[in-house]
């Protein structure tokens, strides 16, 4: 199969997988002590995509997932939050990965934190009230923990999946 076709097919599969994860989380909420916080299983797919493909493809997968899930399940307002969080998070992860100084856990950790920061910024703008930033400490901690968990899961997945799965050379 030509390289471009293979990449396209992979993006489609990963986007579908990310949507399924988003759907599962929307339908079966995992009980966490603090309201409004979830694990973000879909981000597992995004981190895998960032490491096995590249930033461009991961971004395409992420934006596709958020748009479809937003229209079908969560609604337009939730979509705006997700979009801001998702894009800011992924740009940060892409940037940190490029420096080559951070492991996948560190990259994912920063991604988790920035995901919540992005959502908070949009929330503050939408409610036009900067008291929203009262939630910053809670959201920082939550992003940190979920980011680390997703990072560890991504590391385990990338090291145990067969090497040729994503077209060979990219997987380390």
The helix or strand, by DSSP H or E, that contains position 148, with its residue range, turns out to be helix 136-160
Q: Does 141 engage in binding with other proteins (CB under 8 A)?
A: yes
Among residues 8, 55, 95, 144, which is the contact residue for other proteins, using CB under 8 A? 144
Q: Give least dist CB 106 to other proteins, A.
A: 3
Q: Does 50 engage in binding with other proteins (CB under 8 A)?
A: no
- The alpha carbon dihedral of 80, 27, 117, 155 has a sign of negative
Query: How many CB atoms sit inside 10 A of residue 16's CB?
Result: 15
CB 171 within 8 A of CB 161: yes
In the complex with other proteins, which residue's Cβ is closer, 4 or 101?
101
In the complex with other proteins, which residue's Cβ is closer, 50 or 109?
109
Q: What is the DSSP letter of 127?
A: T
Please state, in angstroms and rounded to a whole number, the distance separating the CA atoms of residues 114 and 144.
9
Give how far Cα 119 sits from Cα of 2, 22, 32, 67, 88, Å: 38, 16, 19, 15, 9
Kindly identify the residues of this chain, within the stretch 102-131, that bind other proteins according to CB under 8 A: 102-106, 109-110, 113, 123, 126-129, 131
Q: Does 134 engage in binding with other proteins (CB under 8 A)?
A: yes
Q: Give least dist CB 41 to other proteins, A.
A: 18
In the complex with other proteins, which residue's Cβ is closer, 64 or 102?
102
Could you tell me how far CA 133 lies from the centroid of its own chain? 22
Among residues 2, 5, 35, 168, which is the contact residue for other proteins, using CB under 8 A? 35
| Binding residues for other proteins (CB under 8 A) | 35-36, 75, 77-78, 81, 99, 101-106, 109-110, 113, 123, 126-129, 131-137, 140-141, 144, 155
């Amino acid at each position: 199969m030509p390289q471009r076709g293979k990449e396209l097919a992979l993006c489609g599969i990963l986007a579908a997988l990310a949507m399924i994860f988003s759907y599962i989380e929307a339908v079966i909420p995992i009980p966490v002590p603090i309201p409004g916080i979830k694990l973000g299983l879909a981000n597992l797919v995004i981190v895998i995509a960032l490491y096995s493909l590249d930033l461009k493809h991961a971004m395409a997968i992420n934006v596709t997932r958020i748009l479809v899930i937003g229209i079908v399940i969560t609604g337009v307002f939730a979509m705006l939050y997700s979009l801001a969080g998702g894009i800011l998070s992924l740009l940060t992860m892409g940037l940190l990965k490029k420096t080559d100084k951070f492991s996948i856990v560190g990259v994912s950790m920063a991604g988790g934190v920035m995901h919540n920061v992005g959502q908070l910024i949009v929330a503050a703008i939408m409610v036009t009230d900067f008291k929203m930033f009262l939630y910053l400490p809670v959201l920082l901690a939550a992003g940190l923990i979920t980011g680390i968990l997703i990072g560890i899961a991504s590391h385990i997945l990338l090291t145990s999946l067969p090497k040729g799965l994503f077209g060979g050379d990219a997987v380390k």
